[in-house]
Structure 1
Amino acid sequence: MNIQRIIITGICFLIFITEAPAQRKRLAARPQLGDSALLTEVQKRTFNYFWKFAHPVSGLTRERSTTPDTVTIGGSGFGVMAILVGIERGFITREEGLDRLLKIVNFLWRADSYHGMWPHWMNGATGKTIPFSRKDDGADVVESAFMFQGLLAVRQYFNQDTPKERELRDKIGWMWNDAEWSWFTQGGQNVLYWHWSPNNGWGMNHQIHGWNECLIAYILAVASPNYPVSPKVYHQGWAMSNYFNNGKEYFGIKLPLGFEYGGPLFFAHYSFLGLDPNGLKDRYADYWEQNKNHTLINRQYCIENPKKFKGYSADCWGLTASDSHNSYDAHSPTNDLGVITPSAALSSFPYTPEYSMQALRYFYNRVGDRLWGEYGFYDAFSETTNWYDNQYVAIDQGPIVVMIENYRSGLLWKLFMSNPDIQRALKQLDFSSPWLK
């Protein structure tokens, strides 16, 4: 979600914290682990948010740990990728993962959709839309893009010639084929629109311009087998805004695209759970440089710590959208409230492995039980206000599992980038990548 929608999110779904840290269920003492073992432990606990805490009917991912019936399409898209990590890491068997993914896909097949796109939220038992706001009660292209990013990786992974794996591939393919990306140009304009509602039509009127987390929506829209958009939609819609090109230096680090200081760090994560930024370039940017430099600027800002918040350092850094001590907010160097979000540094492992490990050690060893729980690290904390969240949020948990795995093995990048539709779209958009022959 972009910055505008984060403001709406804070108004719409913040569930204030009522459980004091001292009341939390205490777990066994944290063992001291080597780097590899610690990464595995973080992945396993965080994976369990998507496995053990999944909605029992649909298998989809709950929006947060305090919303038992509300499931999130984007967070569930991250979750299906996390299930693949769980199989590869031996947390579950291939058969267990297959059965869960079939449950999810069969539920999505019957759930509310609009021109082939799902809503932001739905009821995890019925599949009925839960409005995100008064007019946002229909299709959400970006949340659906996050789901399709995951499902296309799943389809590549389950490649065996067995009845259940064929069924899974077929149903994912049918939903992918039915997604009407071209509809969301609102009559053939050269830009994608985020929402459409059967009750409110185009009332949200939210064009998707970059730079932010929505790159994947444009890639998928061009990649669509049956309802593609023209490359002009990418070049004239996505790449044309006051916040697309940057080119300035911050702390001596050049930022090719985006807001001042880069904005919240989830911009460098959500589209790149499947889209491999290694060697990925187009006429606008080198996306490895973009994401790595965005991360380095975010970290260096925390080291400089101009607002003198307690705890900020080379060991404790990472500003992105998350819970805050007052609300849900899009934390960044230009919107710094003294809140550190573990997902920011941990989902940046591919870009800054040494610095991300520093942060991981700090969160695990120094902040400790105030931050570490049944499903890994809680969403956020502020040492300045002595506030430590006791909730998990799906869209922050998912990138931790997936991006650590991409750092370790490149698993999700290999799967997503091997998809012929994605390769064709990248070629149409004049991208270069080691994946393109």
Structure 2
Amino acid sequence: MNILPRFAVVLSLAFACTASAMAAQASKQTSESHERARIPPMVDDLERRTFDWFWDSANPQNGLVPDHYPTKSFASIAAVGFGLTAYGVGAERGYITREQAVERTLATLRFFHDAPQNDSEDDATGYHGFFYHFLDMDTGKRFSRWVELSTVDTTLLLGGVLFAQSYYDRDTPQEREIRQLADEIYRRVDWTWVQARKPLITMGWTPGGKFIPHDWQGYNEGMLVYILAMGSPTHAVGEDAWKAWTSTYDRTWGEFRGQTFLNFAPLFGHQYSHVWVDFRGIRDAWNREKGLDYFENSRRATYSQRAYAIANPGGWTGYGENVWGLTASNGPGGLVVKSGDTERTFQGYTARGAGLDYISDDGTIVPTAAGGSIAFAPEIVVPALEEMKRKYGKHIYTKYGFVDAFNPSFHTKTDLRTGKLVPELGWVDTVHLGIDQGPILLMAENWRSGFVWNVMKKNPYIRKGLQRAGFTGGWLDGARAEP
């Protein structure tokens, strides 16, 4: 304080307060020092680089984040959701100031709050509170007529919106506006409208084709769709929706590569919902019956993928205990390569994975498959990230962290849709995808501090959705669900 105390007692109190503040600061520094000692430098570096991808790639005028970067791209609303959450991480880590995070977040929320919502083909950003999967980076309108109004991508966007609502809790005009905008964006989403085949929720809608003839069921990244749909204070779906969602679980419950778990071949399905929800110790009826929570299920899925890579049934180059990971990603391209009597098919963008439900493996390794699982199984993920960087980092580790994917088995000279051929390695992608960068950054932060999870535990809509779905135990016990 910049005042001179008039009395000795005031001076004594000032010294006591200063000593207390210094002790608190020393304690904080000691805690941070211990964390730095525990967190491998490579992970610390990866988190910062991945954050920079979101900060540098977004349009600061409207907050839209590209699907891929640094090449020209349309915006991905799911990537925006990851980005909104990333800005809070950046503020906490000191990558940017809180004021910078507030400014970018406000630009984003103002855009989505005010963007046109109607049923036109070309002059809308969304409809009934939902948003189109891909948007024009500048205008924010539906990017093309092949783009659907996506329930799951809107949900991932809302993960970031609700994070902002709970994180920016200070009594300033800017942070009050963030909370108000976030609340209004979430409240207007009409979840009951997308129950085309009630009680399930459809995957999407288009003005021309209307509702997509597929619903969210089984087990995949759609878990958060139902949690947010059940937590809505304005258009909530019934509790029978969660029962319908879990009713087909047993189709993929079983043993794969030494682990018994609820299978979903690509690892993103085991990661996305967990970015915002800490499932440790909370269980729904299905969890209680099987004797595990969804966090443990994702841990087993991670170990299963590593075991698959070690076994390497396809005989792909480079696979091993520290080089593994299958999930949705770019690839060398849709073509068949023949070598003698051997014929191998390589895919472009596809949902690669290995599980009881299916196996899609063309030798393409996706770093986010491991990186996004760091909170589940750091003991096997950290060595994998370090080994991939050590072995291939010259070509796959850039100023923005790991590129989307690489394939040491592909060496065919051809016109590539994306990526490039590296003689000593194989095919290497030249872009980073927002939906792959997000889990790397945010799950790394959840592992090291629990930051995103702890913020979201304060959100009444998340709590209400979980409780209506039947989750109990752990941090949910005694929680109030009312907004």
TM-score range for the pair, normalised by the shorter chain length: 0.7 to 0.9
Of 361, 384, 393, 1:336 maps to 361
> Who is 1:82 aligned against?
86
C-alpha RMSD of matched pairs (Å) = 1.7
Of 305, 325, 337, 1:318 maps to 325
Of 59, 80, 96, 1:55 maps to 59
- Partner SS state of residue 135, structure 2: strand
Provide the TM-score with structure 2 as the length reference: 0.79
Query: Residue type matched to 1:252 in 2?
Result: G
Query: Residue type matched to 2:432 in 1?
Result: Y
Q: Distance in 2 between matches of 1:41 and 1:228?
A: 41
Aligned-pair CA distance for 1:247: 3.2
Aligned-pair CA distance for 1:196: 2.2
> Who is 2:201 aligned against?
192
Aligned-pair CA distance for 1:209: 1.0
> Does residue 274 of structure 2 align to residue 272 of structure 1?
yes
Larger Rg: 2
Q: Residues 73 and 37 (structure 1 numbering): CA distance in 2 closer, same or farther, change over 3 Å?
A: same
Aligned residues of 1:211 and 1:244 also touching (Cα < 8 A) = no
- Partner SS state of residue 186, structure 2: helix
Q: Residues 77 and 416 (structure 1 numbering): CA distance in 2 closer, same or farther, change over 3 Å?
A: same
Aligned-pair CA distance for 1:180: 0.7
Aligned-pair CA distance for 1:245: 4.3
- Partner SS state of residue 475, structure 2: coil
- Partner SS state of residue 435, structure 2: helix
> Who is 2:47 aligned against?
43
Aligned residues of 1:62 and 1:69 also touching (Cα < 8 A) = yes
How do 1:1-400 residues align onto structure 2 when only pairs under 5 Å count?
35-65=39-69, 68-111=72-115, 112-131=125-144, 133=146, 136-137=147-148, 139-186=149-196, 189-202=198-211, 204-236=212-244, 238-241=245-248, 244-255=250-261, 257-258=262-263, 262-285=264-287, 286-326=293-333, 327-333=348-354, 334-385=359-410, 386-400=426-440
Moved more, 86-95 or 109-118: 109-118
Aligned-pair CA distance for 1:67: 5.3
Moved more, 322-331 or 50-59: 50-59
Figure out how many residues of one structure are paired with residues of the other and give that number: 394
Q: Residues 232 and 115 (structure 1 numbering): CA distance in 2 closer, same or farther, change over 3 Å?
A: same
Q: Residues 423 and 350 (structure 1 numbering): CA distance in 2 closer, same or farther, change over 3 Å?
A: same
Q: Distance in 2 between matches of 1:251 and 1:227?
A: 42
Aligned-pair CA distance for 1:344: 0.6
- Partner SS state of residue 329, structure 2: strand
Structure 1 ranges of 4+ moved more than 4 A: none
With a CA cutoff of 8 Å and minimum separation of 6, indicate the structure with the bigger relative contact order: 1
- Partner SS state of residue 273, structure 1: helix
Aligned residues of 1:264 and 1:330 also touching (Cα < 8 A) = yes
Aligned-pair CA distance for 1:416: 1.4
- Partner SS state of residue 155, structure 2: helix
Identity of aligned residues (%): 34
Query: Residue type matched to 1:309 in 2?
Result: W
Deviations 1:342-370 (A, max 9, x none): 00101111111011111111122111111
Q: Distance in 2 between matches of 1:277 and 1:183?
A: 28
Q: Distance in 2 between matches of 1:397 and 1:274?
A: 15
Q: Which runs of 5+ in 2 are unaligned?
A: 1-36, 116-124, 288-292, 334-347, 411-425, 479-483
Moved more, 243-252 or 413-422: 243-252
Provide the TM-score with structure 1 as the length reference: 0.87
Query: Residue type matched to 2:434 in 1?
Result: A
Q: Residues 403 and 132 (structure 1 numbering): CA distance in 2 closer, same or farther, change over 3 Å?
A: farther
Deviations 1:89-118 (A, max 9, x none): 110010000000001111111222200011
Aligned residues of 1:57 and 1:124 also touching (Cα < 8 A) = no
Q: Which runs of 5+ in 1 are unaligned?
A: 1-32
Query: Residue type matched to 2:260 in 1?
Result: K
